[in-house]
Amino acid sequence: MKRLVLLLFLGLAGCSTGLFAPQGDESVTVGAPMSAMAPPPDATTEEAFDTTTVEERLAAASAAPETGAERLGTTVASLGSPTAPGFWLETPLVDTLREGRVEAENGKTANLELRPIDGPSTAGSRISLPALRVLEVGLTGLHNLTVFAK
């Protein structure tokens, strides 16, 4: 019994130090580093939920068409989790995490992280609140986006 308790204790201690944690940092983002702060628990406005800095918003908005960027297709996107910080698009158009850019029908573009989700390529996507703000398309509704991989 003492050995079982000792093994359990060592196992829990290993988890806290990362001994049994998956290799690689699951929170690593591609592209420019983000503040990636979660919004405060009492957030009720889009400003409170958007924890990105002015500099990060400017960097995301400075998405110019790049030579060699791969056009992945179009998707219909809605607001994803407003508590997930940063600039990202969860989409079935990619099968691995990669850096990308989206363009809205109004011509506005945003640099962001393309995150894979299950589903056919015709399925919808979810986009972050900060990315929707940069695209100036509103937080509600469905938005047609053209998706590019860098």
pLDDT in tens, 87-123: 999 999 999 999 999 999 999 999 999 999 999 999 9
pLDDT band at 44 (very low <50, low <70, confident <90, very high): confident
Find, among 45, 37, 134, 149, the residue nearest to 84 by Cα: 37
For position 74, what pLDDT does the model report?
Answer: 97
Q: Which two tokens stand for residue 37?
A: 């702060």
Residues 21-37 have pLDDT tens digits of 333 333 434 444 455 68
For position 33, what pLDDT does the model report?
Answer: 45
> How far, in Å, CA of 129 to CA of 137, rounded?
11
- Considering the chain, what percentage of its residues have pLDDT values greater than 70? 73
Domains in the chain: ranges and CATH: 50-150 (2.40.40.10)
